[in-house]
Amino acid sequence: METIDKIKQQIEENPILLYMKGSPKLPNCGFSSQASQALMQCGEQFAYVDILQNPDIRAELPKYANWPTFPQLWVDGELIGGCDIIMEMAQQGELQEVIKESVAKRAGDAAE
């Protein structure tokens, strides 16, 4: 599978997806640590991809997303942004709303 196809599939299959360095429990950079902490505080499950374990994704995702840095948060197929945006949204209560809307939408889809 081509790397871009793999990225598209990951984004499609995981409504809340964080591309980061390391894992939420063992982040390998401060920005990834802050971003994953902010997401965990929303109280919903999210998927992550450790780009250090996936050098092909690390190389291709910035081009695909038109976003040069990591972490990258994707919700419902849309790039939300990186650490600064995630932290700003979390402080203003917007991140929690976006995450809860995503979860509610899936719960509605499952009920139909």
Q: What is the pLDDT of residues 5-35, one digit of tens each?
A: 999 999 999 999 999 999 999 999 999 999 9
Contacts of residues 53-61 at CB distance under 8 Å and 24 or more positions apart, as own/partner, are: 56/3, 56/6, 57/3, 57/6, 57/7, 57/19, 59/3, 60/3, 60/4, 60/7, 61/7, 61/19
Q: How confident is the model at residue 40 (pLDDT cuts 50, 70, 90)?
A: very high
Note down the domain range covering 73: 3-111
Question: What CATH number did the domain enclosing 32 receive?
Answer: 3.40.30.10
Q: How many CB atoms lie within 10 A of CB 43?
A: 10
| Of 92 and 107, more confident | 92
CA torsion sign for 101, 94, 4, 19 is: negative
pLDDT of residue 98: 97
Q: Which residues contact 50 (CB under 8 A, 6 or more apart)?
A: 20, 21, 22, 23
Q: What is the pTM of this model?
A: 0.94
* CA gap 82, 70 in Å, rounded: 6
Share of the chain above pLDDT 70, in %: 97
Domain count, the chain: 1
The helix (H) or strand (E) run that includes residue 53 is none
Average pLDDT over residues 74-85: 98
pLDDT of residue 1: 82
pLDDT of residue 110: 67
pLDDT of residue 108: 80
